[in-house]
Structure 1
Amino acid sequence: MEKYKGYLMVVVAASLWGVSGTAAQYVFDHSDVSMKWLVSVRMLISGLLFIAFSYYGKERKEIWSVWKSKKSAFQILFFGLAGMLAVQYTYFASIDEGNAAVATLLQYLAPVFIMIYFLVVFKKVPSRFEMISLVLALMGTFLLLTNGASENLTVPAACIIWGIISGVSLAFYTLYSGKLIRTYPSIIVVGWGMLIGGTTMMFIKAPWDFDPAGWTFTTIGLIIFVILFGTLVPFFLFIDSMRYITAKESSLLACAEPLSAVLSSVVWLGVPFGLYQGLGGGAIIIMVVLLTLKPKESKKKMSENVNY
């Protein structure tokens, strides 16, 4: 039963992440809420809440441990800027320029960038397994962005560029956070990362720099949803699920995120999503599953040689 509890927690977390992207798209399309403002507020509030929960939880004594040495302080600062902020900003920028469905699927190309990183670092020829994954990623991306017609793009070029950068940022986030999360509690790493990113965003778009004159109750409700149920709740569920299931199982079940983003975009916002786009999205998800199920031997070998 505990395993099923863990499965449910990951599926709910991933689904909330996906739906929150669609909620953000609705806010951008139906109000004058700035993408930069929402990223700033989302990260600041979430970061403060994560640190506050840590203070009143069992991680209280470790909150300030990341700042006790110059090395760890630099690592958490770099993670907050080049990892957490980069992922959040580029993902929402892609949504703002296009739609949540395409933005989420492009972000899920991250495993391909991680694979390419390992191949370059270890100067090895791609295996058949890796070549199949790469072909699926390229084919899926092509179909997703063109719906089978190469002369037409289904979303603006800016959405594609930000989406690909988002995938690269997520790959870096995943690789760089490895040592931090093995050294400090996940909630503290995520909390400081969010807070650092949000504080930096304050200099770009201050949280108090907004005009609520044209906001409706729906706008306010969706902003709260993006902050709480698109960040705080799913992160807690995902992190806590690790007590019941393995990292591999959680990675597989996290594929519910692009599925929920696509379904909510199509059903709720009426975003057109063609047959070939669906096939492309499916190919990307299959690629993620294949790379997650990659033979343990090669994964272990790589992890032993990587210097985070």
Structure 2
Amino acid sequence: MVESEGSPHVMRGIVCALAGGICWGFSGTCAQLLMNDYGAPAEWITCVRMVIAAVFFLFMTAMRNWRDLVAVFRDRRSLLQIALFALFGVLLTQMSYLNAIKHTSAGVGTTIEQVGLVLIMLYVCLRARRLPRLREALGLAFALGGMVLIATQGEIGRLAIPAEGLSWGLVSAVALAFYTLMPVRVLKKWGAMLVTGLAMLFGGSAASIVVQPWSIPVQLSGGALAALVAIVLVGTLGAYMLYLQGVADAGPVKASLLCCVEPVSAMVLALFWLQTPVSLWDIAGCAMIVVMIFLVSEREPKLAAVLAGEGEMLSAGAAAAAGYDDPPLFAGRASVLGYYTSRPAVREDFGQVEKLLDAGHETFAALGIDEGRKKYPSARRLMHSIKNGTTQVVEDAQGHMIAVFAVSFSPDKNYDSAIDGTWLTDTSAQPQPYAEVHWIAVAYEARRRGVGVFILETADRIASRGGRTSIRADVYPQNVPIQNMLEKHGYTRCGTIVIKDVFGRKKARLAYERML
């Protein structure tokens, strides 16, 4: 998503992003109320809040796309990453943040937590093997200065807030760094709502087993129950949805910077609602932390978009900073890590697409496949496919075109002929139940990096969005690599069909189909 200055809803996006940040600050204030006035332990609030929020997030995910909710449980690597994110990101952030508030206040705890952005910035510099840039160094100075002002109240050498509060605040800053950097890969594959919901479910369940919140006597009177409901509905779901709307309308850069209002709103709400004392030193420290957020947040839209709308208690400035984290392709299966994107090919792509298809023809020749003198598809057919949006290209994180494929919704006349076997769906059914994937070709330098799996997963989504219940493919019998990939992805070998080319030559193909 790229920020659009000319969008007619920019002002609505600005309002929503600000409201989202205020809601996150409001959440911390409600937690302070629950702990100080109603005696609810931070551990109890963490467990209850996460489990309830997880149910809501997963319910919304199921309503939008239940297939993803089912499919993620077949991706063991993603589940492992989400589980680690749940423990060291979500759970640690929640627990340390609430304990920081318990020993200080909502405003102070939220402000100190934002120091995690500096840790993210330092991690980025270390990873890139470079020194901090000028604005990053200034951000570090402002962060340290703001934290010192809050912790000492201007009297250097004397700690003016409880040591436990400062310690938990620093732990929450470290946790925020984990929270921001750990889920980058799975977020790009599965989306913010699904990852956040599963992480809260895993983290909340693990915490509940240890804490056993049902055994802790908490009297949920009218005020306490209202505060808990407000934390879940307003401070979690409401903040999340408002922030996503802000990103959609105003763009991720504006939304990320506007959410810097979170620590300010927490401090103001604690002052006027809970009458928590706020000194001039607190205000000055908070102001310095907010300046730090502006300084260390990356301003490039494509980076800010990486984690835009991540959800609960992730300041958008942290999302922008995390956009730096773009590991190289060799770090693992690219389809899982989410390095690739696809889009419909355009006329200007024609030359590059032809080169990719030529690489596919060369591979066929190496496998002993005789395509004849006339290669398929022809230039005319390829251009027609590009015009009608059938052809898709795949690009890596640097924007290099590395693969091509086509997903067709038109009936394939070759599938009307007899098959030595049985299709999974009725070929003559109306409306047509299947889509077809064709022309898969991957550049030599991008092979064995999960691009093929990414293509098949993307083709599934395109076919599903087109209302089809299955997807078909046909391959040469000698093309064992693609057969193995199809079968591993869940395709069923249905039999053999005979395809006639424009010259009347007959060639056998293995027919595959997968139910979506």
By the TM > 0.5 criterion, same fold?
A: yes
Aligned residue among 129, 145, 152 for 1:146: 152
Deviation at 1:148, TM superposition (A): 0.6
Q: Show the counterpart of 1:74.
A: 80
Q: Show the counterpart of 1:27.
A: 34
Highest CA radius of gyration, 1 or 2?
A: 2
Counterparts of 2:301 and 2:137 in 1: how far apart (Å)? 17
Q: Show the counterpart of 2:204.
A: 198
Deviation at 1:113, TM superposition (A): 0.5
Aligned letter for 2:197? Answer: G
Aligned letter for 2:159? Answer: L
| Pairing 1:39–2:46 present | yes
| Pairing 1:119–2:129 present | no
Q: Show the counterpart of 1:238.
A: 243
Deviation at 1:276, TM superposition (A): 2.1
Matched ranges for 1:156-235 at <5 A: 156-213=162-219, 215-235=220-240
Are the counterparts in 1 of residues 253 and 300 from structure 2 also a CA contact under 8 Å?
A: no
Are the counterparts in 1 of residues 54 and 200 from structure 2 also a CA contact under 8 Å?
A: yes
Counterparts of 1:187 and 1:209 in 2: how far apart (Å)? 30
Bigger proportion of residues as strand: 2
Aligned residue among 257, 264, 272 for 1:267: 272
SS at match of 2:18: helix
TM-score if structure 1 supplies the norm length?
Answer: 0.92
Q: Describe the shift of the 1:84–1:70 C-alpha distance in structure 2 as closer, same or farther (beyond 3 A).
A: same
Are the counterparts in 1 of residues 27 and 230 from structure 2 also a CA contact under 8 Å?
A: yes
Q: Show the counterpart of 1:254.
A: 259
Identity over aligned residues, as a percent? 27
Are the counterparts in 2 of residues 54 and 60 from structure 1 also a CA contact under 8 Å?
A: yes
SS at match of 2:183: helix
Deviation at 1:69, TM superposition (A): 2.2
Are the counterparts in 1 of residues 181 and 322 from structure 2 also a CA contact under 8 Å?
A: no
Aligned residue among 285, 298, 304 for 1:280: 285
Are the counterparts in 1 of residues 55 and 197 from structure 2 also a CA contact under 8 Å?
A: yes
What whole-Å deviation, never above 9, does each CA across 1:116-152 have from its counterpart, x for those lacking one? 1012222212222221111111111111111111243
Aligned residue among 131, 145, 151 for 2:137: 131
Counterparts of 1:281 and 1:212 in 2: how far apart (Å)? 33
Q: Show the counterpart of 1:10.
A: 17
Deviation at 1:63, TM superposition (A): 1.0
Q: Show the counterpart of 1:84.
A: 90
Moved more, 232-241 or 12-21: 232-241
Are the counterparts in 2 of residues 36 and 204 from structure 1 also a CA contact under 8 Å?
A: no
Bigger proportion of residues as helix: 1
Counterparts of 2:263 and 2:211 in 1: how far apart (Å)? 28
Tell which has more relative contact order, 1 or 2 (C-alpha 8 A, sep 6+): 1
Are the counterparts in 2 of residues 3 and 244 from structure 1 also a CA contact under 8 Å?
A: yes
Counterparts of 2:211 and 2:230 in 1: how far apart (Å)? 20
TM-score if structure 2 supplies the norm length?
Answer: 0.56
Q: Post-superposition, which runs of at least 4 consecutive aligned residues in structure 1 deviate over 6 A?
A: 295-301
Give the RMSD, CA atoms, in angstroms: 2.2
Stretches of structure 1 that go unaligned for 5 or more consecutive residues are: none
Counterparts of 1:8 and 1:137 in 2: how far apart (Å)? 27
| Number of residue pairs the alignment of both structures matches | 306
Q: Describe the shift of the 1:242–1:102 C-alpha distance in structure 2 as closer, same or farther (beyond 3 A).
A: same
Aligned letter for 1:22? Answer: T
Deviation at 1:304, TM superposition (A): 4.4
SS at match of 2:146: helix
